[in-house]
Structure 1
Amino acid sequence: MENCCCGESKLSGILARYQGQDGALIKALQDAQGLYGYLPEEVLARIADYFDHPYSQVYGVATFYAQFRLKPRGEN
């Protein structure tokens, strides 16, 4: 998580909102993207661990929906 622009405590706060909510994966991804501006690999891994899902499943959800970005937006 060292390469992320925000501290892990903020991500922990986001994930804590969804404790015990198995169907909250997409909302957690949306909130994490709102925090970081995109979904870094480390964040996807942390979310996968939190929801006890395989990384491949979380990655699949993030790549299926066009709203999610896996790379930061470029600056013009």
Structure 2
Amino acid sequence: MCNCNCNGLKSDLSLLNDVLSEYGGSPSNLITILQKAQNIYGYLPKDVMYCIAEKVGVTPADVMGVATFYSQFRLTPIGKYLIMACQGTAC
């Protein structure tokens, strides 16, 4: 269970408990945890990333580094409709 003390931040961290109990404790699971957290919240709120960092045993900067490196992660909420366009040769 995540008992993060994130004063002033408002995400419902209890939604993460199942994910963190299943995958938490190992930095090798960080990407999987971030993916599942994004599925829960729709994006990765800062307080959620702080809680993940605490549970996995890495710094918040490490979590932010992974979240900003991969384009699949969103750090801000998305709108009602998500439009994606592919400009690569595989499209």
Are 2:74 and 1:69 aligned? yes
One-letter identity of the residue aligned with 1:25: L
Structure 1: state its 5+ residue gaps: none
**Structure 2 residue aligned with 1:35:** 40
- What is the TM-score when the length of structure 1 is the normalising length? 0.86
Q: CA deviation at 1:36?
A: 0.1
- The structure whose Rg is larger is 2
Structure 2: state its 5+ residue gaps: 1-5, 82-91
Among 10, 14, 20, the residue aligned to 1:3? 10
Residue deviations 1:28-51, cap 9 Å, x none? 000000000000000000000011
The 3-state SS of whatever aligns with 1:3 is coil
- For 1:19 and 1:48, how far apart are their aligned partners in 2? 10
Percent of aligned pairs sharing the same letter? 43
The 3-state SS of whatever aligns with 1:75 is coil
One-letter identity of the residue aligned with 1:10: L
The answer to which structure has the higher helix fraction is: 1
- What is the TM-score when the length of structure 2 is the normalising length? 0.73
Shift >4 Å, 4+ stretches: none
**Structure 1 residue aligned with 2:20:** 15
One-letter identity of the residue aligned with 2:10: N
**How many residues matched?**
74
Q: CA RMSD in A?
A: 1.6
